[in-house]
Structure 1
Amino acid sequence: MGTLTTTRKYKGKRNRLDKPELLAPAGNLEKLKFAVHYGADAVYIGGQKYGLRSNADNFSFEEMREGVEFANKYGAKVLVATNIYAHNEDIAGIEEYLRNLYEAGIHAVIVADPAIVSVALRTVPGLEVHLSTQQSTLNWQAVKFWKDEGLPRVVLGRETSLEEIEEIKKHVDIEIEAFVHGAMCSSFSGRCVLSNHFTDRDSNRGGCCQSCRWKYDLFEDARPGEAWISEEEAQDSNVLRQFQLGINQLPLFEEGDNAFSMGSKDLCMIENIPDLIDVGVDSFKVEGRMKSIHYVATVVNVYRQAIDSYMADPENYVLKPEWIEEINKAANRPLNTGFFYDTPDHEDHIYEPEEKAAPYDFAGLVMDYDAASGMATIQQRNHFKPGHEIEFFGPNGTFFKQKVGTIWDEEGNELDAARHPLQRIKMKVDQPVSYFDMMRKKK
């Protein structure tokens, strides 16, 4: 497959020499290991308190220590999201929690609430404090305020443009972290209360029910003196009573129309890596602590390749079409470039039924490979059987397609399918594979 030349939308002049950090999500310990194996320089996780993904698996302190030990082997860092907006009852115990994070080897906490920022700076000076995107920081003077408070990094609000980032970097010498891939919030940097009203789950304390993704019917109330019932309907006592009670409503959709939704398209900046680097973004953040292992590995792998390719030879950098293909295999929704170049409008929201762009499942994990026989040991992650079309890919450049041939269990018994979760099977592969390569199949 050929290559595509990269057309830069943003005409920044920054000549960057240092490589930006690739920061990946990790909803649990296994995802942390995949993120690091597939190229993340750092991962961000959630503890069992004070985070905005209360439905993720999240980490105990023991798991954090294991995750830090694993990441350190690969030169990676572990950050913890401590980004709730705290109520009075949330503050009790925060000092002990932060000290436990530091003792577990955590590099930094990502914080939104100024009270937690203050406690962290005062009580655990060895633990870096990064300002969360939940603070909606968009201008250089606000960034300077947080630097003066002692923070080394600010995670900008997702509404920040590339032009605004350049202005910030011009005025303030501070690390800038920005989301470059993943879900976008229809509210302003996550400051939403729909979830609170609809389900009594506080989105700013970790309980968001994603009500913006729900499907809604829309109605218009009857105006005074108007009736949307016919004379024939008025003879129906039930219809007439509804009208008299003032609950007569005009549906704004015809029967069979698509329901209304407020969900936004997902962010994807893989086609614009040079712009992000040249303008001075220090950390490229991928959203998705609730996403699958396949998503984390695929997205991190692609951004790793693109960043390394640009940094190796900026003048001759080209966008490879296979990177776009790979991203689409993990995409949950249609993609756009968020606020980086312009303000999203109606075309950047999903009003039709969502086009599920990810037609692949994580089918298996390579545990071992015997070069002499060409036999791989695969740990089953989703059902597959002989005849299925599959792909192998991995962090060391592995990528090829083949059909599943004969498969055996570890005792050498031939199988008609790999049905059992985490079952180890053996099969011949067309090309060499390595430990932690992934096998996927079309859904």
Structure 2
Amino acid sequence: MRTITKKPEVLAPAGTLEKLKTAFVYGADAVYIGGNQYGLRSRAGNFSYDEMREGVAFANQYNGKVYVAANMVTHEGDAEGAGDFFKTLRDIGIHAVIVSDPALIEICAMEAPGLPIHLSTQASATNYETLNFWKEEGLERVVLAREVGMDEIKEIRQNTDVEIEAFIHGAMCISYSGRCTLSNHMSNRDANRGGCSQSCRWKYDLFEMPQPEQHNSLLEGDPVEAFSMSAVDMTMIRHIPDLVENGVDSLKIEGRMKSIHYVSTVSNVYRQAIDAYCADPDNYEFKQEWEDELWKVAQRELATGFYYGMPTENEQLFGERRKIPAYNFIGQVLDYDEESQIATIQQRNNFGVGDEVEFYGPGFTHLYQKIESLWDAEGNPIERAPRAMMTVKMKVDAPVKALDMMRKLK
């Protein structure tokens, strides 16, 4: 009989305060966010100090943790003010910082003692000797490089007691541990200082250029995407037992720039799978509905990355894409009146009378129904809710709760 000694942490992305709160409501144990400095997502909704304080207070209600990514590669002058930044995070109550640059690690350790440091995946940790080195430097957790396989994780776990964090869902970078310079060359935006323009996601062709101003495609017809440097996304939903049994302490979901639809759905699914396995590992069964749910927010095809061998051409995006269901996130429940069975909805995308919709909520609850009638905030009947963020009311077939989400098939 197998016994789970430690349930792994579900670590969700939170690009904004709204996403942070959504992640915890939908089952995350921890979130990672960015501050206004030293991170790799300059276009994400990075947090001010006041927002961090609010986020930490909200996390504490769920016994959750908030980590701050400060994982940029510093050039001369980039580290100025880092000591004060880390001290402020410590005093706010941030539970750890995620860092890759040794200079920032040293500054944090010297200037903000007591603030735990986690090594970022950008540092390319791929073996237990590396983890033990960083343990000697005072780090308590290492985010493994995404190129590490499951057999390697097993060996790492057997040879170190450093906490292991590993990505289990989301976008994959085409470059080793995300250390890419395509964006620098093609758009003059430094990927390792927060400005990646995702050049690997662009569409490419093969051209003949007899003259500098001429661009003649050498491919016949109009290919969907003949050449690619873009990997499919990762999902490990079918392999939770391997991750738990091989000692991964934190299961990390990628996507600080994704929507609350994505954050809620993915957090919800992995919460269900991890709880189910840890509650009864001997009788655990994978549920196809978990994977089906993930496809509702999938942007690309899905695979297991490097966990079970080297990715092949089947893990790259080019040519005809596999058809997948595409759902629109259309609303969030603000309130529900039991007596009248009326739900108050904040609109997030156009919907109206006659639409078939799905409500889902924490704990993997689902409700499917057709919208029979709709009212605006003043109680006037309307046919559609076309304005962004407008408040509407509708009768629902079964109880829903505040913060439940609403979506429909495109």
TM over 0.5: yes
* Alignment partner, residue 258 of structure 1: 224
Contact 1:15–1:278 (8 Å) recurs in 2: no
* CA distance in 1: counterparts of 2:323 and 2:144, whole angstroms: 29
Partner of 2:14: 26
- Structure 1 residue ranges without an equivalent (≥5): 1-12, 222-238
Q: Distance in 2 between matches of 1:113 and 1:126?
A: 19
Give the equivalent residue in structure 2 for 1:118.
Answer: 106
**What corresponds to 1:150 in structure 2?**
138
**Residue 440 in structure 1 maps to residue 399 in structure 2:** no
Residue 391 (structure 1) aligns with: 358
Q: How does 1:36-435 map to 2 (within 5 A)?
A: 36-219=24-207, 242=211, 251-259=217-225, 260-352=227-319, 354-355=321-322, 357=324, 359-435=326-402
The alpha-carbon deviation at position 313 of structure 1 amounts to 0.5
Residue type of the partner of 2:60? N
Q: Look up the match of 1:235.
A: none
**In the aligned structure 2, how far is the partner of 1:360 from the partner of 1:38?**
19
Deviations 1:265-290 (A, max 9, x none): 00000011111101110000000001
Deviation, 1:248, is: 8.9
Using the alignment, how far apart are the partners of 2:299 and 2:217 within structure 1? 30
Task: Say if 2:223 and 2:319, in contact at 8 Å, map to a contact too.
Answer: no
Letter in 1 for 2:199: S
| Higher Cα radius of gyration | 1
- CA distance in 1: counterparts of 2:327 and 2:185, whole angstroms: 36
Aligned length: 409
The one-letter code of the counterpart of 1:144 is N
Q: CA deviation at 1:356?
A: 6.9
- Report if aligned partners of 2:2, 2:282 keep a CA contact under 8 Å in 1: no
After superposition, give the CA deviation of every residue in 1:23-66 in whole Å (9 maximum; x if it has no partner): 00001010111011000000000011110000111100011101
Which whole-Å CA distance do the structure 1 matches of 2:395 and 2:215 have between them?
Answer: 63
AA matched with 1:157: A
* Cα offsets for 1:198-254 (capped at 9, x unmatched): 000000000010000101111468xxxxxxxxxxxxxxxxx7xx4xx8x99985422
Give the partner amino acid of 1:35. Answer: A
- TM-score normalised to structure 2 length: 0.96
Q: Deviations over 1:284-327 (max 9, x none)?
A: 00000011110110000000000000011001111111111100
Q: Which amino acid aligns with 2:82?
A: I
**C-alpha distance in 1 between matches for 2:393 and 2:348:** 14
CA RMSD between the two structures: 1.8
Distance (whole Å) between structure 2 residues aligned to residue 281 and residue 425 of structure 1: 44
Cα distance in 2 for partners of 1:37, 1:132 equals 26
Question: In the alignment, residue 143 of structure 2 is paired with which amino acid?
Answer: V
Cα distance change on mapping 1:85 and 1:418 into 2, 3 Å: same
Q: Would you say the 8 A contact 2:2–2:281 is kept in 1? A: no
Contact 2:331/2:345, CA 8 A, preserved across alignment: yes
Secondary structure of 1:88's partner?
Answer: coil
Quote the offset at 1:355 in angstroms: 4.8
Change beyond 3 A, Cα 1:298–1:248: closer
| 1:398–1:437 CA contact under 8 A, matched in 2 | no
Distance 1:14 1:50 in 2: 43
Moved more, 352-361 or 394-403: 352-361
Q: How far apart, CA to CA, are the structure 2 residues paired with 1:414 and 1:370?
A: 18
Looking at structure 2, the residues matched to 413 and 335 of structure 1 have their Cα atoms a distance apart, in angstroms, of 44
Q: What amino acid maps onto 2:151 in structure 1?
A: E
**5+ residue gaps, structure 2:** none
> Helix, strand or coil: the match of 2:257?
coil
Tell me if structure 1 keeps the 8 A contact 2:272–2:363: no
User: Per-residue CA shift, 1:94-130, capped at 9, x if unaligned?
Assistant: 0011111112211100000000011111111111100
Asked if the contact 1:406–1:414 (Cα under 8 Å) also holds between the matched residues in 2, the reply is: yes
Runs of 4+ with >4 A deviation = 247-252, 353-356
Question: After alignment, is 422-431 or 27-36 more displaced?
Answer: 422-431
State whether residues 119 and 141 of structure 2, in contact with CA within 8 Å, keep that contact through their aligned partners in structure 1: yes
Instruction: Give the conservation status (yes or no) of the 8 Å contact 2:122–2:178.
Output: yes
Shift of 1:396: 3.2
Confirm or deny: 8 A CA contact 2:268 2:363 kept in the other structure. no
Q: Deviations over 1:324-357 (max 9, x none)?
A: 1100001110000000110101111001255574
Q: Residues 208 and 357 of structure 1: is their aligned pair in 2 closer, same or farther, counting only changes over 3 Å?
A: farther
- Larger mean CA deviation between 331-340 and 252-261 belongs to 252-261
User: Are the counterparts in 2 of residues 195 and 211 from structure 1 also a CA contact under 8 Å?
Assistant: yes
Q: Distance in 1 between matches of 2:321 and 2:31?
A: 29
Is contact 1:333–1:356 with CA below 8 Å preserved after alignment?
no
Could you say if the C-alpha distance between residues 251 and 369 of structure 1 is closer, same or farther in structure 2, counting changes exceeding 3 Å?
Answer: closer
